Chains A and B, each alone.
Chain A
Amino acid sequence: MSVKEAAKNLVKLLEKIPGDRVPHYSSFKETQLQRFRIIAGLSSKTVPEKKKSLIDDLIGNKVFKDGKKNDGEAQIKAEAYTEKVLNQQSKAVNNLLNNKYLTLYKIDKKLLEPKSNPNYYKRLLKDLDKGGKEKESFIDALKTVLTGKY
């Protein structure tokens, strides 16, 4: 297996990582995909380009310079990525995707449905699945404030 193939293999695994429920400043999946796509020789055009704000336009010159510099660095580093290193990275991603540690260190209902707040994680996930966009009703919010239970 050549370096490119190993990198392609890693990209395939990275694509399986679930996307973020809530948009963050930067996404683990996208950043890593972008990084290894360069090594695999794949184009990273699938990443949607962000709309530039006015401030970005104003300092556009600087952003451009920085971006170029980073690409150059990636090129130098690409030579340091050997097949062995890439396979190690793939193995790590594979372990994470297979929930190796979640199954190895299984935890009980005690932590997942905590005594003081049995609905804590359920409500949290419900909120996150909506992408943090939908707000809860006023009564629910008031209940949380008054009882302290989430």
Chain B
Amino acid sequence: MSMMYLRVSTKKVLRPSVVVGLRSVYGCSIRLNSSHSIKGIKNNNNNNEDIDDFGTPSKLASSSNFPYVEDPTRVNKDIKLKAKIKEEKEESVGFVLPKWKETVGESLISVFGIDMDNIRAGSVGGSKYYYMCKDQGLQFAKEDLSETAKFYYETLQLPKTFSQWFQITSLHIWLLFVRMRAMPFKYGKNYQQKLVDRFFKDMELKLSEEMNVQSGRIIDSYLKDFNDQLKGVVLSYDEGLVTDDATLAAAVWRNLFNGEKEVDLVHVEAVVRYIRMQLYVLDNMSDREFGFGDFEFVKPNEVVTPLTPEQEQVIRQKAKERYERSDGKQLPSMKSKLSLDY
């Protein structure tokens, strides 16, 4: 089985400076605009809810009385806060591009007729979406765990290791892959490629900086190993997606739970619920919204209730209003061939 997009690139890719400039333009404007319509279907944790039908995954997981026995051989390797890699300036939250750069960017796009959907693959797929995946299971010593990290390390009791972080991240990357496959071939492939490239580039950096692996040869061999693992992750989750919940649960157990024998089956169920929830949200997005970076993962302590036809209509209406202005005017950078249909 060949998966062509799973190439590990360890070489630095040089990009023309124009493209890099545009990438930063869109990196920021998309981040700022990320108030999105699909949020309407996210309901916060409500105590009156029947835990049986619409409880959140983290509530479901913590409802279990399974005796957790700490394994003395387990390694919990916190990464030192000092070694934390800083976000790039253009990619940090709240970064605003100077007005003149934006104007230059916009005019370059219209003069050269640049295909913005292809450019956006880098800024959305390779930057915004990658950060979303990576932040899910990120943890450092002496730093408070984020809400999502609490779910994995405290509720599900998973070990704090690099390979566990890899598993959590690759689960989310797979979720995005599923949606990217449903985009037009040319663009979907590009989004996938950019996401995977960024994943491995970042892992290389993490291994050398945060995990303090000195030898480049060893890093390369780790990366090759992670590449194989990612192929396995994608294959087994894909199998679970199209077959049934039990198969998906087995895939989750093998990958996310590291094949741990003494696993709490309620935890596995909670993760299956979590995955199906995300897929439901992804399914209810148009290509345009997804391509522009409007998707955000539902947190484990939130729940998705299936949409009623009225809600669906409201969401679609809002998306149309946002992307197709009534006067037909649009900035060159906002042009897109991705469909708004559901």
Q: Which residues of A approach B to under 8 Å, CB–CB?
A: 17-18, 20-21, 24-29, 31-32, 35, 77, 80-82, 84-85, 88-89, 91-93, 95-102, 104-108, 110-112, 114-117, 120-121, 124-125, 127-128, 141, 144-145, 148-150
CB within 8 A of B239: which of A28, A101, A107, A125?
A125
B253 touching A124, Cβ below 8 Å: no
Which B residues lie within 8 Å of A99 (CB)? 244-246
A111 to B178 alpha-carbon distance, docked (Å): 7
Per-residue CB proximity of B205-240 to A under 8 Å, as 1/0?
000000000000000000000000000000100110
**What is the 8 Å Cβ interface bit string for chain B, positions 239-275, against chain A (1 contact, 0 not)?**
1011111110110011000010111111011001100
Main secondary structure of the interface of A (DSSP, over half): helix
Interface residues on B, range: 35 or more
In the complex, whether B132 has a CB less than 8 A from a CB of chain A is no
B331 interface residue, CB < 8 Å from A? no
A105-B182 CB under 8 A given contacts A29-B250, A148-B189: no
Chain A residues contacting B279 (CB-CB under 8 Å) are: 105, 107, 111
- Please indicate the chain A residues that have their CB under 8 angstroms from the CB of B245 in the complex: 95-102
Using known A-B contacts A18-B244, A105-B276, A121-B238, determine if residue A111 contacts B254 with beta carbons closer than 8 Å.
no
Q: Is the CB of A24 within 8 A of B254?
A: yes
Complex Cα gap A80–B264 (Å)? 13
Q: What is the count of residue pairs linking A and B with beta-carbon distances less than 8 angstroms?
A: 148
Q: Is B265 a contact of A93 with CB atoms below 8 Å? A: yes
B265 near A114 with CB under 8 A, answer no
Report the nearest A residue to B5, measured CB to CB: A148
Q: Which residues of B contact A105 (CB under 8 A)?
A: 276-277, 279-280, 304, 306
Contact residues in A for B243 (Cβ distance below 8 Å): 18, 125
Q: Which residues of B are found within 8 Å of A20, using beta-carbon distances?
A: 250
Q: Among residues 281 to 302 in chain B, which have CB atoms less than 8 Å away from a CB atom of chain A?
A: 282-283
Candidates B182, B235, B266, B283; contact of A92 at CB < 8 Å: B266
Which chain A residues border B276 with CB–CB below 8 Å? 101-102, 104-105
- Selected from B182, B238, B304, the residue in CB contact (under 8 A) with A115 is B182
Q: Is B250's CB under 8 angstroms from A115's CB?
A: no
Chain A residues in 8 Å Cβ range of B250: 17, 20, 27-29
Q: Determine the main DSSP class of B at the interface with A.
A: helix
A143 to chain B, nearest CB (A): 11
Q: Which chain B residues have a beta carbon within 8 Å of chain A's beta carbons?
A: 1-5, 53, 63-67, 69, 178-179, 181-185, 188-189, 235, 238-239, 241-247, 249-250, 253-254, 259, 261-266, 268-269, 272-273, 276-277, 279-280, 282-283, 304, 306, 342
Q: List 30 A-B contacts (CB under 8 A).
A: A31-B261, A35-B261, A77-B69, A85-B66, A88-B66, A88-B266, A89-B264, A89-B266, A95-B245, A96-B246, A97-B246, A98-B245, A102-B244, A104-B53, A105-B277, A105-B280, A112-B242, A114-B182, A115-B181, A115-B183, A115-B188, A116-B181, A117-B181, A121-B242, A125-B239, A127-B1, A145-B2, A148-B185, A148-B189, A150-B1
- By a CB distance below 8 angstroms, the chain A residues around B239 are 21, 124-125, 128
CB-CB under 8 A from A117, the residues of chain B are 181, 185
Given A28-B254, A84-B65, A88-B266: A101 and B273 within 8 A (CB)?
Answer: yes
Q: Known contacts A92-B265, A96-B249, A102-B244; is A116 also within 8 Å of B66 by CB?
A: no
Q: Give A149 to B179 CA distance when docked, in angstroms.
A: 16
Are B67 and A81 in contact, CB atoms less than 8 angstroms apart?
yes
Closest residue of A by beta carbon distance from B65: A85
B269's partner among A28, A95, A144, A150 (CB-CB below 8 A) is: A95
**If the complex has contacts A85-B67, A107-B280, are A18 and B178 also in contact, measured as CB distance less than 8 A?**
no
Cβ of A101 to closest chain B Cβ, rounded Å: 4
Q: Please give me the 7 A-B residue pairs with the lowest Cβ-Cβ distance, nearest first.
A: A116-B185, A80-B67, A28-B250, A105-B280, A114-B181, A101-B276, A92-B269
- Is A31 a contact of B259 with CB atoms below 8 Å? yes
A28 to B53, CA, bound (A): 25
Taking A77-B67, A115-B182 as known contacts, 7 extra A-B pairs with beta carbons closer than 8 A to each other, sorted by chain A number, are A17-B250, A28-B250, A28-B253, A85-B66, A92-B269, A115-B184, A121-B242
Across the interface, name the chain A residue whose C-beta is closest to B266: A92
A140 → B minimal CB distance (Å):
11
Q: Which residue of B lies closest to A117 (CB)?
A: B181
Which chain A residue lies CB-closest to B341?
A110
Task: Give the distance in Å from the alpha carbon of A121 to the alpha carbon of B243 in the complex.
Answer: 10
